[in-house]
Structure 1
Amino acid sequence: MWENASLRQEIAALKQENADLEILLETTTEHSDTVTAQLHNQAIQAVLDSEKRLLQFLEAMPVGVAVLDHQGCLYYINRKGKQLTRHSIPLGVNAEKLAKLYHIYRSGTNQLYPFDQLPIVQALQGETATADDLEIRHGDQVIPLEVWGTPIFDQDGTIIFAIAAFQDITERKKAEAERLQFTTDLFALNQALSRFVPRQFLQLLEKDSIVDVQLGDQVQKEMSVLFSDIRDFTSLSEKMNPDDNFKFINSYFSRMESAIIDNQGFIDKYIGDAIMALFSGSADDALKAGITMLHRLAEYNSHRTKTGYVPIRIGIGINTGSLMLGTVGGASRMDSTVISDAVNLAYRMEGLTKEYGVPLLISHYTFCQLNNANDYSFRVIDRVKVKGKSEAVSVYEVFDADESEMQQAKLVTKTTFEQALLFYNLGKLDVAASLFEQCLRQNPEDSVARIYQLRCLNR
């Protein structure tokens, strides 16, 4: 009996424990549900608060902001965006209609901006894109825009939104246009100035711009100097009025200038009807320029003859040597110039062309600097004393530009002519006169041989 009573007591105690556990479990479950609900509500509130702060932030942005959802429909546009677009477009509009509805054009055209090139649409494809060639038009008003498009991904890497920020860049475009105009004007000014101060002159002085040039800037260089002059220009000009005079001289200069530039030279200055050109490369450049000038003159004379004008003649002298190139003048006016005995000798060579009746003479300094003198048709015609110098300078006639018959005749008589000149310089005038006579029998138009023959006879 006692054992049964004890067993019943234990069973009763277990039942009581089970009952207590059930009550505790029910209480715990109820509490857990309450906590879960509270946490859920707090999370929702946090999200709402976050969205509210985000909207406040977006609305306060100084640039326009627009958002497309993953289907490409307009999801949101902030206050600044609405101000810039000035169109009340309902949310949910498809991106394909944005350009048309918002009047978005490609800058400077009447072409609607292709929707697939809009940065916000490119962002839907996963690209980060930028464009500044868009403009929104409101009647006569045009607002240029710069737009940035960025994709927004979820935690799985799926694009859920595309966001675009855009701003009015009217002031920037205006500044860019003004800068472009300034650059264009500056370039035009530099181009105009280069017609007065050659670009090559600046390069020789190692200056980037004419504004860098200072009074007294100078450099010493080995260069060839070319002088050319029109024969009897005074007589020609007296027969023309001022307008015709300038038309004639500019027509002539334009042909001579191209011959010089084509052979790596530049014109240092025009002196009335004369040209002074410089060549910093080989002496061949200067000589080829002189020959080309004479060929261009022949073409020009052919045109002048056909139109009833008399042909013109020029003389060209070339010398090579060391010279000083730089700027001279005063505080309010300066000019480029070259100073050297080499310049004076080139001028003397040009003067001798008048005396001997030939178009092109070079000094032996130029002759010795030629890469291959045998590439040219030449002959020695004199030795002259230069003012201030004790050593005589040999003078060479280059006749590559002569008419073919004259050129051939001078080549045939070259040896005889140079022998005659040697005897003339030795004082054996009778022998020299006889040899010059031989030259004239073969080439009656040889003005140099005739001059020397007369000298022999008159001594």
Structure 2
Amino acid sequence: MTKQVIVCVDDEPTVLRSLKAELKEAVGADYLIEIAEGGEDALELVEELLEDGYEIPLIVSDHIMPDIKGDELLKRVHEISPSTLKIMLTGQASIEAVGNAIQYARLYRYIAKPWQAEDLKLTVKEAINSYFQEKKLAEQNVQLQKMNEELEQLNREQAALIAKLHEKENRLTQFLEAMPVGVFVVDRDGQPYYINSRAQQLLGRGVESNTVLSEIRSIYQVYLAGTEQLYPEQSDPLLQTLRGKSMTVDDMEIHHGDRAIPIEVWGTPIYDDEGQIAYGIVAFNDISDRKKAEAERQQFIQELFELNTNLELALDSELKLTDAASRFVPNEFLSFLGYESIAEVKLGDSIEQEMSVFFSDIRDFTTLSETMTPEDNFKFINAYLSRMEPAIVDNQGFIDKFIGDAIMALFGGEADNAVKAGISMLHCLHDYNEHRDRSGYLPISIGIGINTGRLMLGTVGGSLRMDGTVISDAVNLASRLEGLTKNYGVSLLISHHTYSRLHNADDYAIRLIDRVKVKGKSESVTVYEVFDADLPKLKAGKLASLDRFAKALDLYNRHVYREAADLFQACLELEPGDTVAQIYHNRACDRL
């Protein structure tokens, strides 16, 4: 019996001795535990063990070693012993190192140092079990292939024998007696004509004279396999040959007392020179070994099915984990970086992209949260955010991060998507406030700022923790615009960068309200209000005074304050709730 060896590799003798002791306790005396203090020693040890005929189910290796790193060692071990399972045991392996080990060395698992003894023992036991399951499966596949080849060979030989039955009648008896299968021949009247010696062995008797065709199955004890029912006449190959049919069946049995011999039967009609049926002939063979092999094959197939089922469950679990990961790192973020899986992402990956940056925030949230317990705060925030999220997703955006009650989202396509998302979110807020009112809670209001520009999208962090983020003045400006909504008493502001990228600004209820210098910016920014989501009366009033408001704003910017104040007053008479008109009216009056 081949001896089994587990190899442990670490450049620290103390760690190596501790690891050996724990593995010895985990696997018992059935396995040798060999150690190596470094990658080069490990490679020499593995080669020597293989040359000496040892089997290496598992190697456990540290990563940080002075001569060869763990991922390179496991890769080289995989080249000389592909079936050996590999476990990386280290506290300093990078994501890239682990990825290399998985890709090039079929890494079974990565365990961080310091390890948990029970976790290590369980992992080693599972790895060894997996190794021998894979080994058993490979051996069974070879055995199954060999059985199939033997069955195919047997079928070819039997087909060749049946084809030779059409040789001349004067050589038929000599030939049939030499055949390894049973042969049973009836004449055109259904009387038994010839039974070779092999057939007599299987049937237990020779030719029975003066026999009616319909009684042959009863006389020779021919049954439907697995039953006490005589084989059905309509399926009997011997009877069907006299009706001009050739057929093959493998569900027939010959009964001798308490013994049942499964047989495979081939039947064919023999014609005379005038094309009339002269004989019916069947050849049959004991297929007990084949039935046994088929039963074993079915068992093996069942085991494969169960293994596949377990694999599907594992894949389903992996998909669930992938889905869970996508809730922390959006798939859109990975897509922009050119990846399909979070496992591919590396620290420092980045790409420059023009995007629309979206910020929203609840007004006076600090004051509101002070009236709630921490638990109520979380319930409120999650209730609010879960209602706002679909507005972004449905408009081809994705949420970059939640900052308390605030939302930062990115839109990689048209700037219209970001604006539509803001309008949709404000409509959702209106419905949410109606729900809060029915539940006895005060309504809330939010501000939204949108800016469009080029930004860097990528990963930041350290070796143990990284996160996706965006860096750009475009991001800062979007945040500043959200802050300006409080100053103007409006819900949605966009910059001129976003405005200029709209397909058709006339599709929206929109107006220019100011040109300002925001904190941290030297250049002035033109600010537009989008008021599609205002209450119907307020929206109608702003639309009715749109031209008047624009003229008043122009006069105000040209320091014609008296006329500007009069026009702003006219706007307020149309809609007293227009906070922007009220602000400018007050400013104009202060400058008179």
* TM-score between the two structures when normalised by the length of structure 1: 0.68
Deviation (angstroms), 1:40: 7.0
Q: Give the distance between the partners of 1:414 and 1:189, measured in 2 at CA.
A: 52
Is the aligned partner of 1:398 residue 2:543?
A: no
Deviation (angstroms), 1:455: 2.3
Deviation (angstroms), 1:362: 0.6
Is the aligned partner of 1:433 residue 2:433?
A: no
Q: Give the distance between the partners of 2:462 and 2:365, measured in 1 at CA.
A: 32
Is the aligned partner of 1:286 residue 2:423?
A: no
Q: Secondary structure at 2:498's aligned position in 1?
A: helix
Q: Give the distance between the partners of 1:159 and 1:421, measured in 2 at CA.
A: 108
Is the aligned partner of 1:228 residue 2:378?
A: no
Residue among 503, 506, 527 paired with 1:374: 506
Counterparts in 2 of 1:4-403, with a 5 A limit? Answer: 43-48=175-180, 154=268, 165-166=294-295, 167-168=298-299, 169-386=301-518, 389-403=521-535
Deviation (angstroms), 1:428: 2.8
Deviations 1:165-201 (A, max 9, x none): 4521232122111111111101110111111111111
**8 Å CA contact 1:74, 1:95 repeated in 2:** no
Deviation (angstroms), 1:345: 1.1
Q: Give the distance between the partners of 1:126 and 1:42, measured in 2 at CA.
A: 24
Identity %: 53
Deviation (angstroms), 1:383: 0.7
Deviation (angstroms), 1:344: 1.0
> Alignment RMSD, CA only?
3.6
Deviations 1:284-309 (A, max 9, x none): 11111100101110011011111100
Q: Give the distance between the partners of 2:476 and 2:417, measured in 1 at CA.
A: 20
Give the residue type in structure 2 aligned to 1:427.
H
Q: Which has the larger radius of gyration?
A: 1
Q: Give the distance between the partners of 1:344 and 1:337, measured in 2 at CA.
A: 13
Q: Give the distance between the partners of 1:217 and 1:409, measured in 2 at CA.
A: 49
Deviation (angstroms), 1:154: 4.7
Give the residue type in structure 1 aligned to 2:411.
F
**8 Å CA contact 1:151, 1:159 repeated in 2:** no
Q: Give the distance between the partners of 2:589 and 2:392, measured in 1 at CA.
A: 41
Counterpart for residue 152 of structure 2: none
**8 Å CA contact 1:205, 1:219 repeated in 2:** yes
Closer/same/farther in 2, CA of residues 355 and 159 from structure 1, 3 Å limit: farther
Q: Give the distance between the partners of 2:572 and 2:309, measured in 1 at CA.
A: 72
Q: Give the distance between the partners of 2:435 and 2:376, measured in 1 at CA.
A: 16
**8 Å CA contact 1:384, 1:392 repeated in 2:** yes
Residue among 542, 550, 569 paired with 1:418: 550
Q: Give the distance between the partners of 1:339 and 1:455, measured in 2 at CA.
A: 36
Please, which runs of 5 or more residues in structure 2 have no aligned partner? Answer: 1-167, 184-195, 200-216, 235-245, 251-263, 272-279
Deviations 1:307-335 (A, max 9, x none): 10000000011111111111111111111
Q: Give the distance between the partners of 2:571 and 2:172, measured in 1 at CA.
A: 122
Deviations 1:394-426 (A, max 9, x none): 100011111111111111212222222222222
Q: Give the distance between the partners of 2:503 and 2:459, measured in 1 at CA.
A: 31
Deviation (angstroms), 1:392: 1.7
Q: Give the distance between the partners of 1:94 and 1:359, measured in 2 at CA.
A: 85
Closer/same/farther in 2, CA of residues 409 and 92 from structure 1, 3 Å limit: same
**8 Å CA contact 2:247, 2:268 repeated in 1:** no
Q: Give the distance between the partners of 2:533 and 2:549, measured in 1 at CA.
A: 19
Q: Give the distance between the partners of 1:416 and 1:297, measured in 2 at CA.
A: 30
**8 Å CA contact 1:430, 1:456 repeated in 2:** yes
Q: Give the distance between the partners of 1:183 and 1:159, measured in 2 at CA.
A: 55
Q: Give the distance between the partners of 2:497 and 2:388, measured in 1 at CA.
A: 24
**8 Å CA contact 1:74, 1:94 repeated in 2:** no
Number of residue-to-residue matches in the alignment: 349
Q: Secondary structure at 2:512's aligned position in 1?
A: strand
Q: Give the distance between the partners of 1:437 and 1:449, measured in 2 at CA.
A: 8
Q: Give the distance between the partners of 1:255 and 1:95, measured in 2 at CA.
A: 72
Q: Give the distance between the partners of 1:345 and 1:425, measured in 2 at CA.
A: 23
Deviations 1:31-54 (A, max 9, x none): xxxxx9x977753442148999x9
Deviations 1:131-178 (A, max 9, x none): xxxxxxxxxxxxxxxxxxx99675889996899845212321221111
Q: Give the distance between the partners of 2:394 and 2:556, measured in 1 at CA.
A: 40
Q: Give the distance between the partners of 2:267 and 2:172, measured in 1 at CA.
A: 24
Closer/same/farther in 2, CA of residues 446 and 250 from structure 1, 3 Å limit: same
**8 Å CA contact 1:357, 1:448 repeated in 2:** yes
Give the residue type in structure 2 aligned to 1:244.
D
Give the residue type in structure 1 aligned to 2:330.
P
Q: Give the distance between the partners of 1:442 and 1:227, measured in 2 at CA.
A: 31
Deviation (angstroms), 1:434: 2.6
Closer/same/farther in 2, CA of residues 373 and 92 from structure 1, 3 Å limit: same
Closer/same/farther in 2, CA of residues 50 and 382 from structure 1, 3 Å limit: same
Closer/same/farther in 2, CA of residues 49 and 452 from structure 1, 3 Å limit: closer
Q: Secondary structure at 2:360's aligned position in 1?
A: strand
Counterpart for residue 574 of structure 2: 442
Q: Give the distance between the partners of 2:383 and 2:508, measured in 1 at CA.
A: 29
Please, which runs of 5 or more residues in structure 1 have no aligned partner? Answer: 1-35, 56-70, 78-87, 97-123, 129-149
* TM-score between the two structures when normalised by the length of structure 2: 0.53
Closer/same/farther in 2, CA of residues 208 and 421 from structure 1, 3 Å limit: same
**8 Å CA contact 2:363, 2:444 repeated in 1:** yes
Deviation (angstroms), 1:89: 5.5
Is the aligned partner of 1:408 residue 2:540?
A: yes
Greater mean deviation of Cα atoms: 428-437 or 324-333: 428-437
Give the residue type in structure 2 aligned to 1:296.
C
Q: Give the distance between the partners of 1:292 and 1:216, measured in 2 at CA.
A: 35
Closer/same/farther in 2, CA of residues 431 and 41 from structure 1, 3 Å limit: closer
Q: Secondary structure at 1:47's aligned position in 2?
A: coil
